[in-house]
Amino acid sequence: MACPFFLPRERRDDLLWPFPSRLPLGAGFGGTCSAPGHEGTTPTDDELKNACNLGYARCERLPPVRESDCVRYIVSLDSRERIVVTWTSERLHAPGRLGFAEYDCEARRFTQPCPDPRIQSQLECYLDSYLKRR
């Protein structure tokens, strides 16, 4: 469950995560915030470890009125040809939006990307972590 306003960009193995493979995106990531009024803000290492990479985190940048508190990801289909990642957003521990993104293994690209750039960025990081463990 990553923060819905977190735009991950690069893997951050240097932050000494206690259990990186257990993180919502399968590893720890650095990136920027996209919360309204804070777009492009680079979180501190402490914020990355305790808020951005985790959903339901307390962060001063979170807007009080928001659609979701976190986004969950899971591989729902893994074949030689394609991988389907299912995602769902949550607000107050209740399900919200649900979507799917399809990845073409041969072309190495999403054939059905998510229209939300924040979720798409997280999907790409999640899938990258998944493929490295696969």
pLDDT tens-digit profile of 95-120? 999 999 999 999 999 998 899 999 99
Residue 17: the pLDDT is 85
The answer on pLDDT for 59 being more than 90 is: no
Spell out the residues 6+ positions from residue 123 whose beta carbon is closer than 8 angstroms to its own: 73, 85, 87, 101, 110, 113, 114
User: Using CA atoms, how far apart are residues 59 and 109, in angstroms rounded to an integer?
Assistant: 33
Spell out the residues 6+ positions from residue 36 whose beta carbon is closer than 8 angstroms to its own: 63
Residue 36: the pLDDT is 95
The answer on pLDDT for 1 being more than 80 is: no
Residue appearing with tokens 């508190």: 69
Prediction pTM value:
0.90
Residue 37: the pLDDT is 95
Residue with the bigger pLDDT between 93 and 81: it is 81
Q: In this predicted model, what pLDDT tens digit does every residue of 18-34 receive, in sequence order?
A: 888 889 999 999 999 99
The structural domains of the chain, with segments of one domain joined by +, span 6-133
When pLDDT is averaged across residues 84-102 and rounded to a whole number, the result is: 93
